[in-house]
Amino acid sequence: DFFSENTVIGCVVTNARLAKAQAAKLASVSQNGIARAVRPAHTVFDGDTVFTMCTGEVPATPDAVGILAAHAVEQAVINAVKSADSLCGYLSYKDLRGNA
């Protein structure tokens, strides 16, 4: 199946001070970045997921951290696609766009 081989896995690491439940919510909200950058995202055939780690050094609101994290995940996915090399007969974005 075509979609069974496409998975995005990531980790958001922040210095925000968040409770365990807030960190779990941050992981969920961070997955919005995958949904913004990948089509289709979060299908039953893939394992798209984001984990979070918080060092607890800085007080922060969960909403602010979530907005920034979702944007960071989106940009990370886009950067990964644009930076990847062709492999095993699958052409990369760079090769399709002529290293643009």
Residue ranges of alpha helices (H) inside 7-58 are 20-30, 32-37
24-63 pLDDT, tens digit per residue, is 999 999 999 999 999 888 888 888 999 999 999 999 999 9
User: What predicted TM-score, i.e. pTM, was given to this entire model?
Assistant: 0.88
Mean pLDDT to the nearest integer, 6-26? 96
Query: Is 3 a residue whose pLDDT tops 60?
Result: no
Q: Residue 75 and residue 91: Cα distance in Å, rounded?
A: 21
Do 33 and 73 touch, CB atoms closer than 8 A? yes
Please enumerate in sequence order all residues whose Cβ is within 8 A of that of 91, keeping only pairs 6 or more positions apart, or say none.
none
- The strand pairing partners of 90, in sequence order, are 87
57-84 pLDDT tens trace:
999 999 999 999 999 999 999 999 999 9
